[in-house]
Structure 1
Amino acid sequence: MIYDGAVSAGTIFNSGHALFAIIIGALIILWILIGITNLGKVNIAAMTGLLLLTIILCVVIFRNGTPENAGTAMSFGAAVELSASMPLSWLPVIGDYTRDAREPIKASLVSTIVYGLVSMWMFTIGMGASIYAGTSDIAEICVRAGIGIAGLLIIIFSTVTTTFLDALSAGISAQSICKGLNSKWAAVAASIIGTIGAILFNMDDITGFLYLIGSVFAPMVAVMIGTYFFLKRDAEHQTFDWMNLVIWLIGFILYRLLMHTDFVIGYTLPDMLITMLLTVLAGKLFPKSISTERIVR
């Protein structure tokens, strides 16, 4: 995400992406150091500005553009898969971000609804950009529309406010593995590593990575749903379950195999349903699976 934001910002000003990667990385670290509890007014200002700028971008695309050939279309199933990968990968992030909410059910519900509505809006902008502007490059669209500075602000702040959550979650995950780590400084370290990676490596095509995300998180979420909602097992009071790990691995392999078949509904849903069924069946047949250590969250 740092790479994409830096490349887009660099395109607007016809410069390399390294400088903007450093700027975005520094802002992400600043967001982390300020902390979630102190980000109230800062986040409100950033989100309000992003909302207004995105409305402007949306109006520019659909009012001034003319329909053009959008290029070769992917299959509906492939589009479903790429659309499903990001929300699935965000589940742990949202869990880390809302874990201290006073009303977790309401916080999760609001997160889901807002994420869904805004995602549909963003997909609409992307589709409109491809059809009316003849390109899906947001930086090129901003340059053509004459909103270079506004476009730059959209790119940088949307990257910072989103990737900040990724880095924060990385810090929390690191702390859950190594109890002695400070989650905030682990998040800062993750941001630094991400910034260096964005400068050194080419990440123009991340389609394969999105499919990898889907193959990892789809069976993981299925195991979680089967264990918590159907087997009624609370992870906070259960020991580490090797059976669930094996089922996740089966789900992972199944996803990679299903990738070779183009289903109209994609392969995330079939993979999740099969993995969930295996989780419930294994839980019923082997209620006392092999366990090693207690999970502490």
Structure 2
Amino acid sequence: MAGYELDLKPVPRGERSLGFPEVFSIWFGAGISIAEFWAGAMLVGVLGLNLPSAILATILGHLLGNTILAAVSLMGYYSGVPTMVLSRISLGSRGSIAASIANYLQLVGWTAVMLVVAARASETVLAEASGLKGWMVYSSSIMLIGLAVVAWALTGVKGWRRVELASAAALAVLSAWLTAVVASSRDLPRLLAEPLVIDERFWLGVDLAAAMPVSWAPVAADYSRFSRSGLAAFWGTYVGYFASSSLFYIIGALSNLLVNQPDPVGVIAVYGLGVPAMLLVVLSTTTTTFLDVYSAAISLKNTLPRIDIRKHIVVAGVLGIGVGLVFPVESYEWFLLLIGGVFTSLSGVMVADFLRNRLAYVEWRDPVVHVETRGLVAWVAGTVLYILLSASSILPEVEIPLFSDIGAITGSTLPSLAVSTLLALILG
């Protein structure tokens, strides 16, 4: 791994090598994920939507959320720098450090979650095929998949170009196979024939679908800064993630309706899908989680400029493996969901600044302001609103007067995104 992947400085246009197919492949792989499967299952299992309503909510939410994700990706193309460096315009050079630390924590946390679920799927398949199961199989799976993730992240842009295209093709075939298996149920025509219901649960579903692409915004520019054109950066990100993430939301919803299984491990067990399903889970974990590991190192370098990114890709991967081995994911998943509000509102502030002054990104100069008070106010306000609106849904024992009632109708992602964006525009 060599070149600009190891630094935060702007990538010159002549040094960029990712076209639309490569950017599309990166984000297509990111969207085929256990997290999307879970979220789709929540649309029907938690919110109680029927299949037509879940499909429409998925599409509308992704149309909205992908706009933010692709906008940050476009900002990366114009400036040539990673997302946390971009946040210096909105928060100041020192203000961006707080965002970088939060991003590092969430990326290591999600690395652990993804490795744990992939290891559980591997253990399920091995137990059925050979009778092998238990802690040794589980822990070995976490370590092996984690090391594969680290190796993938270390290949750099040249490696991503080759590997991501091949993996996207393999994931497309495996996803089509999984879709065909799940959709082959005789109940599918009946589920699709149910009437579309537009009520408060539907709008919560839209908010839940929008949350996933927005959650990727903090890392979008880390990869689009290597794009050869703005069209490749924007539409490669938008179309790639929309196609795969929407599909897996819908597969998750359908699986939960048909066999009452909210995660791919349960579906593997019920359908007896075996090795192909395990390959899908493991490959999708690798294509998704290498983004977490590489971007964790990038975020840390924005905080500690002298570190070696290559070494800290390994450190982030090892931390993810360690957390996955030691701590049950259920014990800190609520924290990862709450910390998502930090980046929902930050994305709004950054997009507002881009709309106000695109030239600052085209002619990139490191901001001289240490702390940008205007941006910090909008960021904190949006984050606090997100926490107030989402607290009851993430921690059911918590009830916040007025805000819990509003959050149960509107969700938290889109309101906090709107408030932070508008505040940044007004204060600006």
What RMSD in Å do the two structures reach over aligned CA positions? 2.5
The question of whether the paired residues in 1 share the 8 Å contact of 2:349 and 2:420 is answered with yes
Partner of 1:144: 270
Partner of 2:164: 43
How far 1:155 sits from its partner (Å)?
Answer: 0.8
Q: Tell which deviates more after alignment, 246-255 or 208-217.
A: 208-217
How far 1:269 sits from its partner (Å)?
Answer: 2.0
Structure-to-structure mapping, 1:262-277, within 5 angstroms: 262=407, 264-277=409-422
Partner of 2:140: 19
Structure-to-structure mapping, 1:1-297, within 5 angstroms: 1-14=114-127, 15=133, 16=135, 17-64=138-185, 66=187, 75-204=201-330, 208-209=334-335, 211-232=337-358, 234=360, 236-237=364-365, 238=367, 239-240=369-370, 241-259=372-390, 260=404, 261-262=406-407, 264-283=409-428
Amino acid in the other structure paired with 1:47: A
How far 1:281 sits from its partner (Å)?
Answer: 2.1
How far 1:159 sits from its partner (Å)?
Answer: 0.2
Deviations 1:64-102 (A, max 9, x none): 465799xxxx93344334333321221122210111211
The question of whether the paired residues in 1 share the 8 Å contact of 2:208 and 2:411 is answered with no
CA distance in 2, matches of 1:176, 1:207: 25
How far 1:232 sits from its partner (Å)?
Answer: 4.9
CA distance in 1, matches of 2:123, 2:204: 30
- Gap regions ≥5 residues in structure 1: 284-297
Distance 1:180 1:65, change over 3 A: farther
SS in 2 for 1:100: coil
Amino acid in the other structure paired with 1:24: I
TM-score (norm 2): 0.60
Instruction: Using the aligned pairs only, state the percent identity.
Output: 28
Amino acid in the other structure paired with 1:249: V
The question of whether the paired residues in 1 share the 8 Å contact of 2:261 and 2:267 is answered with yes
TM-score (norm 1): 0.84
CA distance in 1, matches of 2:286, 2:169: 14
The question of whether the paired residues in 1 share the 8 Å contact of 2:154 and 2:313 is answered with no
How far 1:199 sits from its partner (Å)?
Answer: 0.8
The question of whether the paired residues in 2 share the 8 Å contact of 1:61 and 1:129 is answered with yes
How far 1:162 sits from its partner (Å)?
Answer: 0.7
CA distance in 2, matches of 1:152, 1:95: 31
Structure 1 stretches of 4+ moved >4 Å:
64-69
How far 1:48 sits from its partner (Å)?
Answer: 1.7
The number of aligned residues is 279
- Gap regions ≥5 residues in structure 2: 1-113, 128-132, 192-199, 391-403
SS in 1 for 2:270: helix
The question of whether the paired residues in 1 share the 8 Å contact of 2:353 and 2:425 is answered with yes
